[in-house]
Amino acid sequence: MSLVGDWQRIEGELPDGWGDARLALTAEDEAQVGRAAALLGPLNPGRRGRELRFFVGRRGVGSGPDQLRRLLRRLDEEGIRGSLELLASDEPVAAPAVTRPSLAASWDELLAALPDDWSDLYGELELTSTDHLERAALLLAPLNPARFGGTVGFRFRVARRRGYGASPGMARRCFERLDEERIPGRLQVLRALSDTRPVATQGPVWRVGGRSV
């Protein structure tokens, strides 16, 4: 099926009155991901390997269903093959019931998987709905959360002992606050360093998407 066909199927399955949809496009050929991202540029997609994530607002200006259909048609015309998947929308989407760990528990698991001498990390919290963005930003303020790419969520830095970033304990407390208000999401560590020892600096600098973070 074409990518336009995938979107037509997804759009037809969305509930009446849907407001926005979070989507993932997975390219069959990794060599084509860059071109696909360029063609989807107006949607500001975020990239993870062969996957591009973005969201579309039903009443958005320049990022609505018609705009997405036109962009996907260009991908089809250029022979970029892949699949389009609905990740979430602001209305319930039928899905099997699952038990999700709390964000605080997820944070504990992520830290436990890091090397014993880890010192700095760059993490991401992806939310399930744009409805939670403003409140989550407030509750995460001590982490200095930043939006990045097309992800519905925030990225942040944590420093274990010194340097730029919140402490692991402060990060956990922020995630506990989200749990207390039942704001769901998914945590992941994007990058981590071990045993850094900054001298006359605030710590390591990562370059992501052409900018320092």
Q: Tell me, yes or no, whether 18 lies in a domain.
A: yes
SS3 185: strand
Q: How far apart are CA 189 and CA 112, in angstroms?
A: 12
If asked whether residues 113 and 34 sit together in one domain, one would say no
Q: Tell me, yes or no, whether 58 lies in a domain.
A: yes
Q: Tell me, yes or no, whether 212 lies in a domain.
A: no
Q: Which of 26, 58, 89 represents a domain boundary (last residue)? A: 89
Q: How far apart are CA 121 and CA 4, in angstroms?
A: 38
Q: How far apart are CA 65 and CA 187, in angstroms?
A: 29
Q: Tell me, yes or no, whether 98 lies in a domain.
A: no
Q: Tell me, yes or no, whether 167 lies in a domain.
A: yes
Query: Do the Cβ atoms of 141 and 202 come closer than 8 Å?
Result: no
Q: Tell me, yes or no, whether 213 lies in a domain.
A: no
Range of the domain at 39: 3-89
CB-CB neighbours of 191 under 10 Å: 14
Residue 147, both tokens: 């939006």
pLDDT of residue 57: 78
If asked whether residues 82 and 16 sit together in one domain, one would say yes
Query: Do the Cβ atoms of 196 and 120 come closer than 8 Å?
Result: yes
If asked whether residues 75 and 10 sit together in one domain, one would say yes
SS3 133: helix
Percent of the chain with pLDDT over 90: 47
pLDDT of residue 130: 86
Query: Do the Cβ atoms of 169 and 175 come closer than 8 Å?
Result: no
CATH number for the domain spanning 66: value is 3.30.70
Q: Which of 61, 89, 117 represents a domain boundary (last residue)? A: 89
pLDDT of residue 134: 93
If asked whether residues 109 and 62 sit together in one domain, one would say no
If asked whether residues 65 and 129 sit together in one domain, one would say no
pLDDT of residue 94: 43
Q: Which of 64, 89, 114 represents a domain boundary (last residue)? A: 89
Q: Tell me, yes or no, whether 83 lies in a domain.
A: yes
Which residues of the chain carry a pLDDT beneath 50?
60-62, 92-99
If asked whether residues 146 and 73 sit together in one domain, one would say no
What is the number of domains present in the chain? 2
Query: Do the Cβ atoms of 7 and 69 come closer than 8 Å?
Result: yes
Q: Tell me, yes or no, whether 206 lies in a domain.
A: no
